[in-house]
Amino acid sequence: MVVFQNYINGEWLSSKSGELIDSISPANRFEVVGQIQASTIDEVEIAVQAATEAKKAWRKLGQYQRGQYLYRVAEILEENLQDIAETLTREMGKTLPEAIGETSRGIAILRYYAAEGMRKDGDVIPSSEKDALMFTKRTPLGVVGIITPWNFPVAIPIWKIAPALVYGNAVVFKPASESAVTAAKIVECFNRAGLPKGVLNFITGKGSTVGDALINNKHLNGITFTGSEQTGKLVAEAASRNNVKYQLEMGGKNPVIVLNDADIESAVAGVLSGAFKSTGQKCTASSRVILEAGIYDKFKEHLLSESAKITIDNGLETTTWMGPCASESQLNTVLEYIEIGKQEGASLIFGGNRLEQGELANGFYVEPTIFEDVAPSMRIAREEIFGPVIALIKVDSLEEAISVANDSDYGLSASLYTTNIGAALEFIDDVEAGLVRVNAESAGVELQAPFGGMKSSSTGTREQGEAAKEFYTAVKTVFIKSK
């Protein structure tokens, strides 16, 4: 059994608790992918202290040199792409092609932020005074706590860690336990790149102990979190209390609107990919499919036909379309919501069952699931399920469709299928979502573009692209007079 240690101040260390946590394969509950440390509150403090001691030298190293480290990490990650992708599939259940794609994306993110080392970090501003120079420059926050979820165990940590480091911060990173083995392999790539001691620290354990200790640590200068809305609110409360800058990415209940003039094959393909790839375990996954009445029956017929072609297994085969839910807990949540949908009066027209035939009996598998006769007030139309479940909702117009789309506590992503440019422009202006896509699935994020949502989905500061510097740095205004 491989045991993965914490990484603190440049050393791999076992927790003094002596306790280990099994990382279970969702494809086979009898397979332990690896073990991680059940760390203590004191070890969180040690990690934060290591980052605090390292931050000054790291900041003074300079942005260009910091970027060079990220280039080296990218090279090492690329050398280990296949191993890390296979670990991701075994540990989280995402299909191997998706895992390879995610790991490749992590490499691209590292190179994007490595190049930030050569980009400007401020602006010259005209002064009202003669013989004076005024400009801005970016200064790092200091020590940043990073807490990541299990559904993107390569991409999300990297899109937080890479900008944090290149902009001059030291980091304490706590991943979700369900995907911490994959996270440890990512941290090893940073270690092998020769990152200075204390600049990146990695600590694992239960959210109720390690996570809580990190978000309440008064020595942090910033904390960035991706996960549930409930936990996000706790992060916000603790950060506000301690005057720590915070960034939250939480849930979504993402609508796809299909108008009468849409290309049906393209729309169905987008809905299937957006709803069922990664077993629906994406914050941008398609959850509500809002259809104009004139296209409803034809769309439904094609959707059911294509859904029947979906193949499901452990994800390691390159032909697999969908893998298991990431954990038994997540499977139970999905099955519970399917029962809620039935009880609320929605019509289950496809799937809805746990798969327990043959080898699938040992894993956390559920069929892709489709409901119709769904009212916008139903829980399956309002609450994030985070599984392969979609609700079909019939409307009479674009205006009604946008109204239904906006009738949500969330506002992460939204998609529209149409051939009418006027309808597309109206949708872009009126839909309440941070990521808006036309004739494309709702689940699509490009690393060079800002990412974040509205309402309960996110706080205001965006992730990824150049927008990331708005969180990881503060603006310093400089005024120099010649005499």
CA distance 432 to 435: 9
Confidence category of residue 378, pLDDT binned at 50, 70, 90? very high
| CB atoms inside a 10 Å sphere around CB 414 | 32
> What is the per-residue pLDDT for 444?
83
> What is the per-residue pLDDT for 102?
97
Q: Is the pLDDT of residue 416 over 90?
A: yes
Computed from CA positions of residues 158, 451, 471, 411, in that sequence, does the dihedral angle turn out positive or negative?
negative
> What is the per-residue pLDDT for 359?
87
> What is the per-residue pLDDT for 3?
95
> What is the per-residue pLDDT for 316?
86
**What's the pLDDT tens digit per position in 110-168?**
999 999 989 988 999 999 998 999 999 999 999 999 999 999 999 999 999 999 999 99
| Residue indicated by tokens 């379309």 | 321
| CB atoms inside a 10 Å sphere around CB 329 | 10
> What is the per-residue pLDDT for 111?
98
Domains and CATH numbers, the chain: 3-250+458-481 (3.40.605.10), 254-446 (3.40.309.10)
Q: If you average pLDDT over residues 189-194, what whole number do you get?
A: 98
> What is the per-residue pLDDT for 114?
98
| Helix 264-276 × helix 293-307 angle, to 10° | 60
> What is the per-residue pLDDT for 132?
94
**What's the pLDDT tens digit per position in 461-474?**
899 999 999 999 99
CA distance 304 to 312: 16
Mean pLDDT of the chain: 96
Residues contacting 313, CB < 8 A, separation 6+: 27, 320, 323, 359, 360
- Rounded to two decimals, the pTM is 0.97
Q: Is the pLDDT of residue 483 over 80?
A: no
247 is written with which tokens? 């960034």
**What's the pLDDT tens digit per position in 431-444?**
999 999 999 999 98
Query: Is-contact 29 363, C-beta < 8 A?
Result: yes
> What is the per-residue pLDDT for 121?
87
Residue type at 261 in one-letter notation: D
Residues contacting 20, CB < 8 A, separation 6+: 3, 35, 36, 37, 38
Catalytic residue among 249, 292, 384, 463: 249
Look up residue 5 and give its DSSP letter: P
Is position 249 annotated as part of the catalytic site?
yes
